[in-house]
Amino acid sequence: MLDPHDAQDPQDPLREMFRQAAASGQARAHAVPVARIAERARRAHRRRVAVAAGAACLVLAGGGVTAAALLSDAPTPVVPAVSPSPVAPSPGETTSPPLSSSTAPGTPTQDAPAGDPSATTTQPSGRVTTSPP
């Protein structure tokens, strides 16, 4: 049966090229072997099973972590309301003298009498110590 368009222009070069390409494609076309189709199906099935197994592992691991977090009795640490103050020196320790002191390091001070237990001396390191009674 003739196409109505063929009657109008039987010598259309583009139409003729499409017909040649269709004839060439039909000649080369053949059915794919059943073994190849079956192998493709097996590969796809293995991929689906591997993805499902991986997802199951992730769900189980996530559930285990969640259960461990919910069942733990450890309280959460509480942040202090204010920052801690600096630590005061211990009672036996005295502070070092200011650098503008008139006494040289290693010389006794002249402020207290020699028998006074409150007399202090400056060590060569610059640290002030009290003399024992």
Q: How far apart are CA 73 and CA 111, in angstroms?
A: 62
Cβ distance 94 to 125 under 8 Å?
no
Mean pLDDT by 10 residues, the chain (133 residues): 56 89 92 94 98 98 92 79 76 62 54 54 60 57
Q: How far apart are CA 27 and CA 18, in angstroms?
A: 14
At 1 the pLDDT is: 47
Q: Is 85 left (phi over 0), alpha (psi -120 to 50) or beta?
A: beta
Cβ distance 110 to 123 under 8 Å?
no
At 65 the pLDDT is: 93
Q: Give φ, ψ of 99 to 5 degrees.
A: -70, -20
pTM of the model: 0.37
End-to-end CA, the chain:
134
At 80 the pLDDT is: 80
- For 122, the enclosing helix (H) or strand (E) is strand 120-122
Residue for token pair 């207290």: 112
Q: How far apart are CA 113 and CA 115, in angstroms?
A: 6
